[in-house]
Each structure stands twice: as structure tokens, then as C-alpha cells.
Structure 1
Amino acid sequence: MAAQANWWGTLVDAGENVVHKLQLLSIGVLHLLFSRDQSRAIDNAAFTAALSRVEGKARQKRIIFVRHAESEWNAVFNRGVWWAAILRFFRSVVQEWLMLPTTDSLFIDSPLSHHGIRQAKALFTTVNASGNSDQWLRYLSTPVPNSVIVASNLRRAIDTARIASAARLSKQGEKIRVVSSLQEIGRNIDTLAISNAYALRPRALASVLQGEKQDDELFDLRESHGNKSVMGSGRLRLFSFAEWALQQKEEVLIVFGHSHWLRAFCQEFFPASFYHPAKSQKIANCAVVTFELQENESAEGPRYLIAPQSYQSVVDGAK
């Protein structure tokens, strides 16, 4: 009877997983067809003009931004279009079909690839080898007072944080704050979160760390508000994150996120007249950059700005 009950429970779980994934795939199709996630309806020139009427700088935060390691989606679609890429695509489609009754997926909320896990481990080595000698990398490895680790609600960012900052996260009280306003900008289904609001699917995360904390000790999910909406705007998430970041008590935020999101953030908050490669180029997997985010008070209300001279590259990224 116990075996029969276990079998029935497994079957019910599989059915729920299938329904959940079909719902996400349906949402993914709607995003592909109708998403406004990449739209930027307001020109940044108006923002820059408003800065000329700034009355005073109210607050500032130091952002240390880490792009996630290579995902399965990156491995399939971003390694060039050759016969090997075609083979990887068809193999991934078969794997995705076989994963349908499980909590995992290669395409939805695409996880780290095997190569991506190696990249994240290499970043861990780089970070810890620097000790406290590097002004910014020490924040990834050590619980420096007045700082906090933050990650997108997508698995590849969360897992990169878990691996690269494992030394820091092993300390008591250290957590990853999962923030849904960091969710990647784009139409593809790899930008959709597989977990629901205020929750994570632990079995869908990479199982690469020994002796890691329990989930409730490792994650702070209060800012994980669920998936982006089909008719939502990535631009609004940029402003939402900027507002949230400036409200935090910590002065330094270590952010594990995504390349399209960061490029859009730089386009939005660098002055329009200021040229910087970050406004047009994506950073590499496991690259680390840092900049100062400012909130300025103006007659029109708070304005957010990346201090142009504060942006610097810390780690070039993985190969």
C-alpha cells in the first residue's frame, strides 16, 4: 500500500509539473508575439534635460554587478550556427520533452550549463584568490559590513551567486535577496521564471555545493514577486530596481543579473550625451563591473543616474 501511495503521489506531482510547464510555455508564446518588455517609449533626452535642474544629490549606492555564467540557452543558441549547434538544438528539444513531468527545464528559466558551472567555480577561485586585496571583489567573498548579495529571480543568476559567493554565503546570517525587478529583459522563454512568487523550486537549482545552508537560511524571497507580465515593461523594472536599491540600508549591493538588463540599465541611467560601451555592448558571462547609482532631487521629483566616471570593469569575464 505504501508503494502504491508513493507511486500515486509521484504521478500527481508529474501531472502538476506538466500543467505548470504548459502554462509557462503558453505565456512564453504570448511574450514572443506581444511582449513590450524591450520597449522604451520615453527618450532619455528628457531625463538628461531634467538633470540640469537638479537641486541636490540625495542618496547614492555602490553597485557591483556580476553577469551570470553560461546557461543552457546560451550553450544552444550563442555558440555559433554550425552543424554542432544544430545537433545541440535537437538534443535539447528531446531533453526538454523528457523533462516535461519534472520540475526542471532547459529552455524555461534556463539553468547553468555544465560549462557555466565551471565558469562560476572559476569566478569563485578568482574572487577568493584576491582575498581582501581587491577593493570590489572582496565583497563577493567576505561579509563586508553594510553590503548585501542580490540576485534576479532566474535560476542562472541565483546559481551563479550560490557558487561564486559560496564563501560569503556560508557565514551565518548571509542570504541572497531574490529581487524580481532584476528579471531579464527579452521575449524568449529563457527569460521566464520557473518558480512562483515568493518561492523557489529547490530541485530545479544546480546541485553542486556540499554542506550548503537550508533554503530558508540561504534565500530572502520577500522581493520575489513572480514572473513579469506579457504587457509589462522592462523599463519599469529598471526604475523599480533603482528605487528599491536606493531605499536599502546597505551602501553596497552585489547584484547577480543579466546582460540585456544591464545594457538597458546603462542606456536608461547614463546621461544621454555621455558615450560608454556599456550602453551598446553586453558584458561576458561572469564579468564583474561596478558603478555608483545616484538619486538626485529635482523639481520633477527623484531622478536616477549612473555617475559616468564611476563605472569600471573588475573582471573581464569567462572564456
Structure 2
Amino acid sequence: MAVIGVIMAVPALISFYVLWVISMLLRPLFILSVGLLLWNFPSTVLKFKQVVNTLAYMFFTNDKKYKKLPEVDMEDFKKHERKTIIFVRHGESCWNDTFNAGERKKVDFIKGFIPGLILAAGTEVYLGLTGRVDSWFYDSPLSEYGIDQIERLAKFLKKPGATTSEQKDLAILNGTSSTSSVLISSNLRRAISTVAIGFRSRLAQNPTQKIVIHPSLQEISRNPDTLSITPVGKQVEASWIEKSNYPHVAGVLQEQCDMKYHIGNKSMSSNGGKRMAAFCDFAFTRDEAALVCGGHSLWFRSFFRQYLPEASKHTAKAKKMVNGGCVAFELMRAVKGGKGVYIIDESTIRVVYGGF
């Protein structure tokens, strides 16, 4: 009986010693982690605020709740202004890489989901403990694959253009057209980096030219990757990926980004409808005839839904633009009752690169 008792006690003893060893190993790690968090107290506070903001937006935001604009009367557009708008969707972000299949087969995405999530969480913890104002999830930056997508866009921009229409659009994108243009971006890092990488030749040839950062283009969503982490009055910081492998991006972000319109993250009182209307108003305050806009899939699709005629069945209202895609169109403005009213000229929508 004594032997049986000893045998039965073995699992309990093993469990005790295993837990004891684990606790001995975890204790210094815990102490070190707390020490690092206190040492990097400002970034710890910032990370805490990001968590609070995320919870607030997830439960209380009305970002997607806005009214569809009433159908415009085309009679009002007998006298109107026009701007050429070219939407450029950002490359795949770290958030996309973790939670969306993207161009991967669903089976491959499912197989890699848990390992990918562990990598993402581990990176987030590392960035927090080392005091970096950076994140995998918040204001998610371009992933390695996303940067590769934008490199492909940059190569495309160097091509001569197959048609007259494409040649004109490429000239606008490259800043070599007689049609004046400006580079604009959402205040989210992946969009800004997309413009910085995709249009680096244009920016290098024109060192005084800047990417205008405008809050109206901030993505329409409650997810944490759509919340800006760049403080008011500060330049955009390159992500850890860009600092390690694409150092030229940091220079553009520091020297060639116009932050005067940056007001921080979107407010709880904001919504997609308000920001799209603000973009339209802003577009027609610019002296340039064309605006090249780095931005986001939901925002772009929502814009087409909001400003194309109700009867339009265009693909742009149903599908998202692909990562790195470029789509051009003419935005029309008329004045009614002292206020600007806007509509997209559907006949002018054209895919420059990638499409939907």
C-alpha cells in the first residue's frame, strides 16, 4: 500500500516542481517587464490610452452611421467646377496580414492564423516594453508584403503608358503633367508610407514638394488599425519595419510631410459622412487641378457610394480597390443655396493600376 501511495504521489510532486520552476523563471521576467514599463513610462501611458480609445471606439463610435446624401439635381451642374481625383489604396498592413486572407488561399490563411497572431502579439509586447511609439495593431503600418505591393506600383509608374488616357494619368501621378497636382494622404501610417514609397521618384525629384496629411481621409471603421497614433504637432514616425529595411521612408516622413492639417485621431463625434464631405470641400480649396490621394478601401468605396448617382451600378460601389490600386475620376462641384454640392462624373472613372 505504501508503494502505491508513493506512486500516486509522483504526478503531484512532478506538477509541484514544474510549477515551481516555471514560477522561478517567470518571476524575473515579470520584474523585468514591470521595470521596462516604468522606465518607458510615457510610452506605457500612451499604450494605455490606445487601449482605452480602442474600447471606446469599438462600443460607442458612430463612424459608419451617416445618412446617404439626397439625389442631386443635374440641372444644378450646368455650371460647375471639376477636379481630377486619383485614389491610391495603401498596401497590405500588418493588421491585414494577421486578420485577412488577402491574396493567400483560405486554407493557407487558416493554417497560419494562430502562428501569425502569436507573432503579432509578441511584436506588440516587444514594442511596448522597449518604449517605441509604434504598434502592430494600432495605426497598423505597411507589412513587408504591403511594401512589396507598393514597390510594384512604383515600377508601374515608370512605364510609358499604353494609351493616351493612361499616359495623361501617369503624368499626373508622376508630377510631370502640365496639369498641376498635389499628393495627399490619410493621417494613418500605411497610407502615408504608401505615398512615400510609391511616389519616391517624384518626391526625390522635387525635394520641396510635400505630402499633405489630411484627417478627412482617415478610414471609416471602429477597428484599432484605423486610429491614428501620431500626436498633434509631430511628424509621422517610420515603423520598425521601415526603419530596419527601408530607411529612406523615414526621411520622407520627417522632411516631406505637411502636417499643418493634422488634428490627431478622429473624434467620437466624427463619422465617415462628415469626413467625406470635408474632403470634397477641401479638394476645391486647392489651387491644383488634380489630387492624388493615398487612402483606404472602405473610405474609397463609401465615397463612390455617396457621390455616384443613385442609379449607378458601377463596380466601385460594390467592390473594394485592391491594395496598391489606382483609380481616377472627375469630381464635380456646383453651388446650391450658397453651399457646395458634389457628384462623381461616372463616365470619367478609369482604372489606372490594379482596379477593384
Quote how far apart the aligned CAs of 1:231 are: 3.3
- Structure 1 counterpart of 2:214, from 179, 190, 200: 179
Partner residue in 1 for 2:68: 43
Partner residue in 2 for 1:284: 322
Could you tell me the percent identity over the aligned residues? 31
Structure 2 Cα separation of the partners of residues 174 and 134 of structure 1: 22
Describe how 1:98-247 pairs up with structure 2 within 5 A.
Answer: 98-100=126-128, 101-130=131-160, 134-144=167-177, 146-170=180-204, 171-204=206-239, 206-207=242-243, 208-210=246-248, 213=251, 215=253, 217-247=255-285
Quote how far apart the aligned CAs of 1:308 are: 1.1
TM-score by length of 2: 0.80
- Structure 2 counterpart of 1:296, from 328, 334, 340: 334
Partner residue in 1 for 2:291: 253
Code of the aligned partner of 2:312: F
Equivalent residues of 1:112, 1:156 under 8 A apart: yes
Partner residue in 1 for 2:113: 85
Structure 1 Cα separation of the partners of residues 350 and 52 of structure 2: 40
Code of the aligned partner of 2:316: A
Structure 1 Cα separation of the partners of residues 55 and 253 of structure 2: 31
Write the deviation string for residues 280-307 of structure 1: whole angstroms up to 9, x where unpaired: 2111100100011111122473211111
- Say which SS state the counterpart of residue 278 (structure 1) adopts: helix
Equivalent residues of 2:175, 2:181 under 8 A apart: no
Structure 2 Cα separation of the partners of residues 55 and 201 of structure 1: 39
**Structure 1's 110 and 13: CA in aligned 2 closer, same or farther, altered over 3 A?**
farther
After alignment, is 278-287 or 210-219 more displaced?
A: 210-219
Partner residue in 1 for 2:55: 29
Partner residue in 1 for 2:5: none
Partner residue in 1 for 2:42: 16
Structure 2 Cα separation of the partners of residues 317 and 240 of structure 1: 25
Code of the aligned partner of 1:262: F
**Structure 1's 273 and 167: CA in aligned 2 closer, same or farther, altered over 3 A?**
same
More helix by share: 2
TM-score by length of 1: 0.88
Structure 2 Cα separation of the partners of residues 55 and 179 of structure 1: 27
Equivalent residues of 2:213, 2:261 under 8 A apart: yes
Q: CA RMSD in A?
A: 2.3
Structure 2 Cα separation of the partners of residues 209 and 142 of structure 1: 23
Equivalent residues of 1:193, 1:227 under 8 A apart: yes
Quote how far apart the aligned CAs of 1:172 are: 2.8
Quote how far apart the aligned CAs of 1:104 are: 1.1
Equivalent residues of 1:141, 1:166 under 8 A apart: no
Equivalent residues of 1:103, 1:201 under 8 A apart: no
Code of the aligned partner of 1:21: K
Equivalent residues of 1:151, 1:161 under 8 A apart: yes
**Structure 1's 313 and 211: CA in aligned 2 closer, same or farther, altered over 3 A?**
closer
Equivalent residues of 2:181, 2:291 under 8 A apart: yes
Paired residues, what number?
305
- Note the residue ranges of structure 2 that are not aligned, 5 or more in a row: 1-35
Write the deviation string for residues 44-69 of structure 1: whole angstroms up to 9, x where unpaired: 3x2x1x42451643321100110000
Partner residue in 2 for 1:70: 92
Code of the aligned partner of 1:15: F
Write the deviation string for residues 197-249 of structure 1: whole angstroms up to 9, x where unpaired: 24224243723144975655311111112111123211100000010001100
Structure 2 Cα separation of the partners of residues 287 and 317 of structure 1: 5
**Structure 1's 19 and 144: CA in aligned 2 closer, same or farther, altered over 3 A?**
farther
- Note the residue ranges of structure 1 that are not aligned, 5 or more in a row: 1-9
